[in-house]
Structure 1
């Protein structure tokens, strides 16, 4: 490879790897596919990222940015002949101002550790993806990650004040401000968050922090069917108290966690479950709980449990926390979609999912962030069963068409990557796609940043 000597001169031989063991380790993310890259690069600062991009542009070397590799849509999947840029050597906290409620970190910082730093000063970082203990903030920025508490606190993009990045042309770009207000020029900060590393490589980010809630409490509501649970979701979201989390589990999700020994205390007739959390000043918790209890206590409620101390809260959340390993144990492959519909259309979506499962003879497990209408629809399949995989593809097509017909969107927090790129024209018009491809060309004229992701190949 022609770029290899120059890259080694820029980074040092130890941080430019082409040995088979390293290439294999970085050949995949959480998707079932893999592709062996030509190189894996480990920059340690912004200047080295800029040097890499400039070298790559001269040699036409595709670059794929990688955080922890925890994404499940192929966003960090290498392409043939590419170099993976791992940000794991860039974990410094560059600036922290508790008084101004912000922190500036490098892209390789672990998201949970950022939150821990903030909490040690009475603050917190609100976005909480399920991979929080090990995912890196750069990957969160790339996919605009969220989590259960997005219903109250929003997604990653809502907590980014400023960025430092390197475009595909090798140019440094600094955008945003460290203040909560700022309207000078186009909002490039919000454009780059969620762009999946296709426009620029984010090296540093300034994040907005919030005062940590003084107390929290959780309610677990059990229902005999999804219709009763969805009606309760609508009642919860129609009243004045905004829950900090509102999670849903369908009958198949409950069966999965029951098989692992979790949720043993649920009423036997439970076929749908809601977890509702509130937070804030300690004095406000009883009032919030009362309002939510009234909203949850409609037709079909089988049981309502309340938890206000940390241990009891953890026990109520145990079933939800065990869902990922529980579903993975049910089949060799989990195709995890994260579609979103308006909250008022959630039941219609669930009924369509049941129809798809019945018509295509598939096992589909659904759960997710009901307060946002964001449902994780998991097709549990056997990849060696060609007939089943064909039925799954038909089911996915039907799912996506129904989501859009209900006024929804194809992805709420996982991104598009390579796995969903072919479906993007179902949602975006040709005019919108053309405009977005034009933006890509401005930022990345040679098309070297994460090729094959976000949009279908022309």
Structure 2
């Protein structure tokens, strides 16, 4: 077998033996280039190798090998993450999960399914749609992102306002820990199960605590009725106030999305235009679902609220085809930026809904000060903003300006009591911005939790947490206090 590999690197030869031989490992530079970044393309680093295990045992073998030799490693799904969480900044061995892509079981009676981490998000809904069920988390990349990656990032999507993010739909995990041990974390669907919330801890840990190899998820029955509204506003503030009014009226839409003028320009120039007015300042895409009784009343309330907030035009989708076109237009919003800009940087902050007008005004000022256009596409219902900073990396200094503008947008979110991420994760992109919302003591406590599972920081190191500073001393003090209390 080793004669077929064009290398004398002992680690490459040994790793190949742990998986399926030469066909399950990449190590040549021309092959590794495809893995030098994820959806965050500003930073690029080559991995040492990429291995493709086909089951949990092979994952565990690779992990044990890397740990015993001090080789850094990380897991990767489809590479659609937007914060650099799957970028091999330390020359890691990438453990690609794409061959572990089976739907293992479906239990309709108990409304759950078991999948491998490489199983594509939207494929799960397609697999159970004929039975009248679906999987709720729906990030914009759901047609290609994997459920394992969704677990790592705690991915959300347009319908998370009503149905929650990935952590609300995970019932069990099989995980390979950084020492190679295989553990099952399963609550059997019991709410408030006793003990530590390990499912909650691992979901959203960005692949720094362990590698997920099997996932039990909650599936939902299709709603009896569903209606979608599209509203156009001449002022962003009117659309923002309409968002707060809808929620204040006691309506819980399945989705409540907003796009501003620049974002509308992009989606209309891309693959799925629907004829939005070119001069409109903002639009709302609002969806309600549930039992048939009461849906029409909710729609009437929404229409009335929009009228009171100076809507230019508001309409209800006539049929499923029109609804699907509206959503295709929205779902391709990020990628559509390529139609109006050579490069773009996606940000991901969260704010209280009531602060929408204030923060959007501040983002507009950041755009003017930086000289870069910023488009806004976001989950308005839960205040999850996605400012997209448009720039041209070919122009010297513009990449740095884009990063500064993105950081300023996150600071604007933090300053009003928000967060620097809602669903895209921290990765390497936002790790320094963690200081916007956490003290040194809080960061040190989080690092200490990571060290329980990943003591040598070989698994996806250099992610999530800011560069060592005062928090190193703080962490030392926390450990000393903990040791004193334990001794007492």
What's the TM-score once normalised by structure 2's chain length?
0.90
Alignment-derived partner of residue 200 in structure 1 = 210
Indicate the SS of the match to 2:347: strand
Quick one: distance in 1 between partners of 2:365 and 2:448?
Answer: 40
Q: 1:216–1:260: structure 2 CA closer, same or farther, 3 Å change rule?
A: same
Contact 1:176 1:187 in 2 (8 A): no
- The reply on whether 1:451 has 2:471 as its aligned counterpart is no
| Equivalent-residue separation in structure 2 for 1:127 and 1:315 (angstroms) | 20
Change (3 A) 1:260 1:29: closer
Q: Report the CA distance shift for 1:261/1:301 in structure 2 as closer, same or farther (over 3 A).
A: farther
Q: 1:101 to 1:361 in 2, by over 3 A?
A: same
Which residues in structure 2 correspond to 1:27-66 (within 5 Å)? 27-32=36-41, 33-66=43-76
Could you tell me which residue of structure 1 aligns to residue 357 of structure 2? 347
User: How far apart, in 1, do the equivalents of 2:271 and 2:131 lie?
Assistant: 38
The alignment of Structure 1 onto Structure 2 pairs a total of residues equal to 458
Cα 1:397–1:34 shift into 2, 3 Å? closer
Specify the alignment match of 1:400 in structure 2.
Answer: 410
- Which of 3, 6, 12 matches 2:20? 12
Change in Cα spacing, 1:317 to 1:117, as seen in structure 2 (3 Å) is closer
> Which whole-Å CA distance do the structure 2 matches of 1:325 and 1:184 have between them?
43
1:264-283 CA-partner distances (Å, limit 9, x unpaired): 64456521100101112234
Mapped partners of 2:101, 2:333: distance in 1: 30
User: Does the C-alpha gap of structure 1 residues 315 and 112 become closer, same or farther in structure 2, counting only changes over 3 Å?
Assistant: closer
Alignment partners' CA distance in 2, 1:377 and 1:291: 29
Name whichever of 211-220 and 363-372 sits farther off. Answer: 211-220
2:345, 2:406 within 8 Å by CA — same for their partners in 1? no
Question: Structure 1 stretch 223-232 or stretch 6-15: which is displaced more?
Answer: 6-15
Offset from partner CA, 1:132-179 (integer Å, 9 cap, x none): 111111110000001000011000011001111011122222112222
Contact kept in structure 2, 1:217 and 1:308, CA below 8 Å = no
Measured on the aligned residues, the alpha-carbon RMSD in Å equals 1.8
Mapped partners of 2:82, 2:271: distance in 1:
26
Matched, 1:161 2:171: yes
CA distance in 2 between counterparts of 1:324 and 1:231 reads 24
Deviation at 1:113, TM superposition (A): 1.0
User: Does the Cα contact within 8 Å between 1:22 and 1:40 map onto a contact in 2?
Assistant: no
- The match for 2:125 among 108, 115, 119 is 115
* Residue 416 (1) aligns with residue 442 (2): no
Among candidates 212, 234, 249, match of residue 239 of structure 1: 249
* CA offset digits 1:420-446 (Å, max 9, x no partner): 112112211111111111111110122
Q: What is the aligned counterpart of 2:145 among 132, 135, 159?
A: 135
> Is the partner of 1:305 in helix, strand or coil?
strand
Match of 1:217 in 2: 227
**Structure 2, unpaired ranges of 5+:** 1-8, 469-488
Retained in 1: the 8 A contact 2:271–2:336? Answer: no
- Describe the SS at the equivalent of 2:201: helix
Q: 2:11 aligns with which of 3, 15, 23?
A: 3
Question: Structure 1: which 5+ residue stretches go unaligned?
Answer: none
Please give the secondary structure, in 1, of the residue aligned with 2:348. Answer: strand
TM-score by length of 1: 0.95
* Residue 189 of structure 2: aligned partner: 179
Q: Secondary structure at the match of 1:302?
A: strand
The 1-side partners of 2:86 and 2:275 are apart by 40
Q: Decide which moves more: 186-195 or 320-329.
A: 320-329
Of the two structures, which has the highest relative contact order with CA contacts closer than 8 Å and spacing of 6 or more? Answer: 1
Partner of 2:105: 95
C-alpha displacement at 1:356, in angstroms?
Answer: 0.8
Partner residue of 2:290?
A: 280
Q: Distance in 1 between matches of 2:405 and 2:127?
A: 44
Structure 1 residues 19 and 320: alpha-carbon distance in aligned structure 2, compared to 1, 3 A threshold: same
Matched residues in 1 for 2:198 and 2:79: separation? 25
How much has 1:240 moved relative to structure 2? 2.0
